[in-house]
Amino acid sequence: MGRRRLGREIALQALYVADVARLSGADAFAIVTRREDAEADAETLAFAGELALGTLEKVEALDATIAERAANWSMARMAAVDRNVLRLAAYELGARPDTPVGVIIDEAIEIVRKYSTEEATRFVNGILDALKKAREGAPPKKKNARKKEP
């Protein structure tokens, strides 16, 4: 497994712990990374920490952005893993413009495939595709928008 993938997985684990156990980002990250047998080096842990703590710092704005594109799905209704993968990818799309959009989405889908269900991969991919368009400058589609009659 590549260092970036491992960093993203560590970040996801920290986000999940913070979300489910309602812990601070620093505490959740410390819990996830305290194992002595961890295979991550310092650079990987720094990347994971940047992603996890950055995501948690902006979680309210990220949730609003995701919810805007997730028609008929509230954040609370989403599975915890899926919700946190979406948060992580949405953060990375905004905070790491040097990382290609396709890489961020592919990594998110592979992580969802590993930690969630096959059905979740389609759900997450659909929302990330909408977020991708937002990064590229397309306005979000309005929910249930109807054309006005002349």
- Over residues 53-77, mean pLDDT: 94
Residue-level pLDDT at 144:
42
Between 133 and 59, the higher pLDDT residue: 59
Average pLDDT over the chain, rounded to an integer:
89
- Over residues 79-88, mean pLDDT: 97
Residue 86 · residue 127 · CB < 8 Å: yes
Using alpha carbons, list the distances in angstroms from residue 40 to 8, 36, 112: 11, 10, 20
Task: Give the single-character DSSP code of 70.
Answer: S
pLDDT grade for 150, boundaries at 50, 70 and 90? very low
Instruction: Write down the domain spans for the chain.
Output: 3-135
Residue-level pLDDT at 39:
77
Query: Looking at domain 3-135, does it have CATH number 1.10.940.10?
Result: yes
Which of 37-51, 52-66, 84-98 is least confident? 37-51
Q: Dihedrals φ, ψ of 108, to 5°?
A: -60, -45
pLDDT tens digits for range 91-147: 999 999 999 999 999 999 999 999 999 899 999 999 999 998 876 664 545 444 433
d(C-alpha 30, C-alpha 41), whole Å? 15
Residue-level pLDDT at 96:
94
Question: DSSP assignment of 87-124, as one string?
Answer: HHHHHHHHH-TTS-HHHHHHHHHHHHHHHS-HHHHHHH
Between 148 and 11, the higher pLDDT residue: 11
Helices (H) and strands (E) in the chain, counts: 7, 0
